[in-house]
Structure 1
Amino acid sequence: MAQASGADGNGASASVDPSRIEVIAPNFKRRLSGVTSTIIQLVPLQAKSIGIAVLGPGLPAHLPRLRWPQLPALWRKPESRRARIWHARRNVEMLGGLVLRGLGAPLKLVFTSASQRQHKGWTKFLIRQMDAVIATSAQTASYLDVPNTVIMHGIDVARFAPAPNGAKAIEALGLDSGQHYAGCFGRVRHQKGTDLFVDAMIALLPSRPGWSAIIAGRATAEHKTFEQALKEKVEAAGLAQRILFVGEHTNISDWYRGLSLFVAPQRWEGFGLTPLEAMATGVTVVATDVGAFPELVVDGVTGMLIPRDDLAAMVAATGALMDDDAAREAAGRAAVDHVRGKFPLESEAARINAVYEGLWVKG
């Protein structure tokens, strides 16, 4: 059943009819996070075939939304199902679903796990109460003690697509179209390996005048000192005009289109979408072997995988691709085909909906 309600004419989210809502996607964290972004991208696609609504703060108005005063309606079954799905992605949301079900709401509970670490006892307890569990990668699944379905994240391959004209894409960013650019996008912090990227560029760029580097992303308050130290290191190396800190941008897909090479230098990652976004844009990737990266990047085909926290390996792999235009461009073409074939966002939404259908079939 497709969702019938959305935003009203003033851009405010219109209330939905709870009787037509089959799935609830709770979001109990106001601050933007990867989980929030996942909900924002998936719900509109899921709503094309099922009745789904979000619940909670920090989400845009265009999403179908169940409001808090409508919560008592959850104690009545939806008109087309024997139970609603409550799809949690955080501990607090699993707990919320358990409380509601314990109070008599007819709910089936689903949890998506993206963690790649041993769960604490409380989390394990909550997960065991779920009716279905989704893991975002095979690596994530290895940390789960319950049956699960691996559904990897997808991306919007229409938004992240190669530039028709690379030089014009670079010029549109206000950059020098005569340069190649290597990029590192995401939060600026030690965990993300931003310092490794900076050190690699300091090692590589002096002997490669045709290359520059872009660091796009925000440093939160606790990481401002870390970012400032990196800028000072770049300045001391005489590369402030070629290693650019451009901050956070909402049009990040345009920045990918300005790149010739992308480096994902993370020391730790839960999943990590940036290699997919780069590859979908036709940009070959050098990525560390963390998170889902080994399941995203086809080593030697769409890019290169290197050990985490290994600066020498990063310099060697990145330098090799900088120096071989043919190999880099071939990997970029293969990357586009790879992402479009295996990681479209529509496929992720359809597979999640199939998990719901499996629960409804069981009754």
Structure 2
Amino acid sequence: MRRVEVVAPNFKRRLSGVTSTVVQLIPQQANALGIATLGPGLPRELPKMRWWQLPALFARPEGKPFRIWHARRNTEMLAGVVLKHVLRAPLKLVFTSAAQRRHRAYTKWLIRRMDAVVATSARSGSFLDVPHRVVMHGVDTERFHPPRAAEDRWEAAGLPGRYGVGCFGRVRHQKGTDLFVSAMIELLPRHPEWTAVILGRVTAEHRGFAEDLRRRIEAAGLAERILFLGEVPDVRPWYRRLSLYVAPSRNEGFGLTPLEAMASQTAVVASDAGAYAEMIEPGRTGQVVPAGDQAALTGAIEAYLADPETTAAQGKEARAHVCDAFALAREADTLRAVYEDLWTAPHP
């Protein structure tokens, strides 16, 4: 623990976008600084501190005047406030905000007690009332890479058609799964070489929503060309098999899936929810449409289905764009600069 300079708590057991960020980012950060996670449900290979090691936070780390507690949720901010301001642990508090809405009074109270605040996009930063720095999420361009082997080709999926279009994530209204299905019901009869896949979990409260979508697909006679594949052990080959990825969310915090798709050399059509509009270059790496606009989404998708060569060319541009602007190492380096500013600032 003396070598742990940064603690990244993760106080939510179920997988979420925040948890996914922690899982991908921490190993990259660990290449350059002493960092450990704290919390349940995280992979064993991540550097971790245990709950019984909490007393170690009351001693300064080796070579630093204090540790940094980097929170991403209200519960984690509250724990940091208690540790620093009530129990007097030598900590500085950092909070990353992805929310794209006005914060409630309680959250604002917590944020005002942070020593540094990071926004994951310019849009999320516009809802903050305190000084902040924009640090957009990155993606591991080694884990998410272009097709390299036969298993990365559409043919390996064993599904109909020559090209795949997909929508990944939890199946629910917020994610716009119904918008994707409606677009596919309209478009696939006109584009017989394409098949659509939907990957992601259906939770109990959204089972009725998913069943209604399946009934609509059956009624359209497209059950063999619009497929629900559920959760898969590894989503990465599916990104590589697709020619087009669609992210039709009605609202998002940040949203990593378009970056993962683009890093896999796949063009993207996305809504302007989350940070999607800040990561996609329209006409070069994909297209952005207003969130919830069925006609705009369907029209944007059809342009790609009708022109597979342009779709493939934009996929290559998307890969180059992500490597240049959204590599995970870039995010880790920028966050380290935030930490260094705190460590080197004058302090009592």
TM-score range, shorter chain: over 0.9
Query: Which residue, 158, 175, 186 being the options, matches 2:159?
Result: 175
SS in structure 1 of the partner of residue 229 of structure 2:
strand
SS at the partner of 1:257?
A: helix
In the aligned structure 2, how far is the partner of 1:228 from the partner of 1:166? 33
Assess if the C-alpha contact under 8 Å between 1:166 and 1:257 holds in 2: no
Q: Which of the residues 86, 92, 98 maps onto 1:108?
A: 92
Report the Cα distance in structure 2 between the residues aligned to 1:86 and 1:119, rounded to whole angstroms. 21
User: Which of residues 137, 146, 168 is equivalent to 1:153?
Assistant: 137
SS at match of 2:33: coil
**Aligned partner of 1:149: which letter?**
R
User: Residues of 2 paired with 1:31 and 1:260: CA distance?
Assistant: 30
Whole-Å Cα distance in 1 between the matches of residues 298 and 14 of structure 2? 35
Which sections of structure 1, spanning at least 5 residues, go unmatched?
1-17
Give the drift of 1:170.
2.0
Letter in 1 for 2:142: A
TM-score (norm 1): 0.92
| Aligned match for 2:28, one of 22, 25, 45 | 45
How far does residue 56 in structure 1 lie from its aligned partner after superposition?
Answer: 1.5
**Map 1:1-363 → 2, pairs under 5 A:** 18-102=1-85, 103-164=87-148, 169-176=153-160, 178-362=161-345, 363=347
State whether residues 269 and 291 of structure 1, in contact with CA within 8 Å, keep that contact through their aligned partners in structure 2: yes
Further displaced range: 44-53 or 197-206: 44-53
Q: Quote how far apart the aligned CAs of 1:59 are.
A: 1.1
Going from structure 1 to structure 2, the CA distance change for 1:323 and 1:167 (only over 3 Å counts) comes to farther
Instruction: Quote how far apart the aligned CAs of 1:325 are.
Output: 2.4
Kindly provide the amino acid, as one letter, of the partner of residue 130 in structure 1: M
Letter in 2 for 1:129: R
Aligned CA-pair RMSD: 1.3
Q: What fraction of aligned residue pairs are identical, expressed as a percent?
A: 58
CA distance in 1, matches of 2:39, 2:308: 48
* Local SS of the residue matching 2:142: coil
Distance 2:264 2:152 in 1: 15
Q: Structure 1's 322 and 167: CA in aligned 2 closer, same or farther, altered over 3 A?
A: farther
On the 8 A contact 2:17/2:255 being kept in 1, the answer is: no
Q: Distance in 2 between matches of 1:78 and 1:167?
A: 46
* TM-score (norm: length of structure 2): 0.96
* Unaligned stretches of 5+ residues in structure 2: none
Match of 1:14 in 2: none
Partners in 2 of 1:184 and 1:92 — Cα distance?
A: 31
**2: CA distance, partners of 1:164 / 1:94:** 42
Does the CA-based 8 Å contact 1:111-1:132 persist in structure 2?
A: yes
In structure 1, C-alpha distance between the alignment counterparts of 2:298 and 2:79, rounded to whole Å = 47
Query: Counterpart of 2:220 in structure 1: which amino acid?
Result: A
Other structure's SS at 1:321 match: helix
Per-residue CA distance 1:185-222 (angstroms, 9 max, x = gap): 11100000000100000000112111110111111111
SS in 2 for 1:139: helix
Amino acid at match of 1:171: E
How far the C-alpha of 1:295 sits from its partner, in A, is 0.1
Matched length: 345
Q: 1:118 to 1:208 in 2, by over 3 A?
A: same
Contact (CA 8 Å) 1:266, 1:288: kept in 2 or not?
yes
Aligned residue for 2:42, secondary structure, equals coil
What CA distance in whole angstroms lies between the structure 2 residues aligned with 1:74 and 1:165?
A: 47
Q: Which amino acid aligns with 1:231?
A: R
Over 3 Å counting, the alpha-carbon distance change for 1:61 and 1:344 in structure 2 is same
What amino acid does structure 1 have at the position aligned with 2:56?
A
Change (3 A) 1:68 1:168: closer
Q: Aligned with 2:153: secondary structure?
A: helix
Q: How far apart are residue 168 of structure 1 and its match?
A: 5.7
Equivalent position amino acid for 1:318 in 2 = I
Letter in 2 for 1:108: K
- For 1:330 and 1:171, the matched residues in 2 are separated by 20
8 Å CA contact 2:155–2:162 kept in 1: the answer is no
Tell me if the contact between 1:112 and 1:134 (Cα under 8 Å) persists in the aligned partners: yes
Give 1:233's aligned amino acid.
R
Q: Please report how far the alpha carbon of residue 165 of structure 1 lies from its aligned counterpart in structure 2 after TM superposition.
A: 5.6
